[in-house]
Amino acid sequence: MLCIYHESTDPYFNIATDEYILKYLKEDCFMLWRNDNAIIVGKYQNTLSEINYDYVKANNIAVVRRISGGGAVYHDLGNLNFSFVKTGNDSNLTDFKKFTQPIVDVIQSLGIDARFEGKNDLMIDGKKFSGNAAHIYRNRILHHGTILFASEMRNVSEALRINPVKYQDKAVKSVPKRVTNISEHLKSPLNIEEFTKKLMDYVIAIYPDSKLYTFTEEDKKIIKQLRDEKYTTYDWNYGKSPDYSFKKAIRTKGGLLEMNLETKNGFIENVKIFGDFFSEKGIDEIEEALQNIKHEESAIRTALSKFDIEKHFSNISLDNLIDAMF
């Protein structure tokens, strides 16, 4: 087994790395890695309905879709991620408890009562510190999970705080749970780097064929290509969302503004705008201009840039319109 700890904290590169070790490396792998501020959404989720868009934008938080299912999770440098890739002929490759057992063992060795509970969670005193997901490719499985060690909990809650009234879709929904950091339960001081080393040393010890591995320049070249051509793109991170209906009403200086959108493959198919605002030129042209546009801020701004918005919405700005669409 190749044991990898890489220094990148770029969320786009790191999520691409998971796909790389699954599809390109022939040997089994165990990998530890950390992301800078990011929300990682499940393969089958509606991205926009999982994030607090305004908070994510204001705090420059990356949003990346992974290849496995499950719910959305928040990553920061206080969170350690682990990935296992295993080859097998067993049709029941997905065994969440088996792959998380090393993490439970190491945490229990620190005097903390960590346990595997439910379908795919690791818990301490009824609070979640690790969520897990898996993806099967041919006869190989990628199992990966989070380990909240010293994450900023306010950011976790704010970044994932969404308004369920806005969206109607059939996408898989994240289920909020009470969460905790491992650091809050330690009997003796330990930082995340020391914890990471303990976990890596333990995995190396229990897999006799394991060896440390560092990505080669050729590895990094392919991962970067995956990053740039897939994981940084709107089409992957947002456009792969299931079709959905969106509705939001806001108060503006010009009155109530309500936006109703029907989207398909990430593009706005139908638009209806309601409100008690006044209009000099009407809003038909605006509704038409928004059709077949990506439900993405820069695309919407470009589509509406040719209009004098206040002629169509008295005392309502382009920024107000954008606010009502996310």
First-to-last alpha carbon distance for the chain, in angstroms, is: 44
**How many residues comprise the chain?**
326
Average pLDDT value for residue range 168-179: 72
Domain 2-239 identical in fold to domain 244-323: no
pLDDT at residue number 304:
96
**Residue showing tokens 């959305």:** 72
pLDDT at residue number 172:
65
Q: pLDDT band for position 164 (50/70/90)?
A: low
Residue 22 gets the label, from left (phi > 0), alpha (psi -120 to 50) or beta, of alpha
Strand partners, 33: 81
The percentage of residues in the chain with a pLDDT greater than 90, rounded to a whole number, is 80
User: Is 64 within 8 Å of 14 (Cβ atoms)?
Assistant: no
Domain range summary for the chain, segments of one domain joined by +: 2-239, 244-323
Q: Which CATH number describes the domain made up of 2-239? A: 3.30.930.10
The larger pLDDT score, comparing residue 161 to residue 80, is at: 80
Average pLDDT value for residue range 120-127: 92
Task: At 19, give phi and psi (nearest 5°).
Answer: -65, -35
pLDDT at residue number 19:
98
Q: What is the pLDDT of residues 206-265, one digit of tens each?
A: 998 999 999 999 999 999 999 999 999 999 999 888 899 999 999 999 999 999 999 998
Long-range contacts of the stretch 201-205 (C-beta < 8 A, 24+):
202/102, 202/105, 202/106, 203/1, 203/3, 203/30, 203/102, 204/3
**Statement: residue 93 has pLDDT above 80:** no
pLDDT at residue number 92:
60
Angle at 41 between CA 96 and CA 322, to 5 degrees: 165
Comparing 50-54, 98-102, 171-175, 191-195, the range with the smallest average pLDDT is 171-175
| Distance in angstroms (rounded) separating the CA atoms of residues 56 and 144 | 24
| Closest C-alpha to 73, from 124, 6, 19, 15 | 15
Strand partners, 132: 145
Across the chain, mean pLDDT equals 92
Segments of the chain assigned E as strands: 2-5, 29-33, 38-41, 62-65, 73-75, 79-87, 114-117, 121-124, 127-137, 140-148, 167-169, 211-212, 244-252, 255-264, 267-275
Q: pLDDT band for position 176 (50/70/90)?
A: low
User: Is 75 within 8 Å of 11 (Cβ atoms)?
Assistant: yes
| Distance in angstroms (rounded) separating the CA atoms of residues 88 and 322 | 49
| Distance in angstroms (rounded) separating the CA atoms of residues 47 and 197 | 33
3-state SS record for 31-97: EEECCCCEEEECCCCCHHHHCCHHHHHHCCCEEEECCCCCCCEEECCCEEEEEEEEECCCCCCCCHH
Is CATH 3.30.390.50 the right assignment for the domain spanning 244-323? yes
| Distance in angstroms (rounded) separating the CA atoms of residues 35 and 4 | 15
pLDDT at residue number 71:
87
pLDDT at residue number 155:
85
pTM reported for the whole predicted model = 0.85
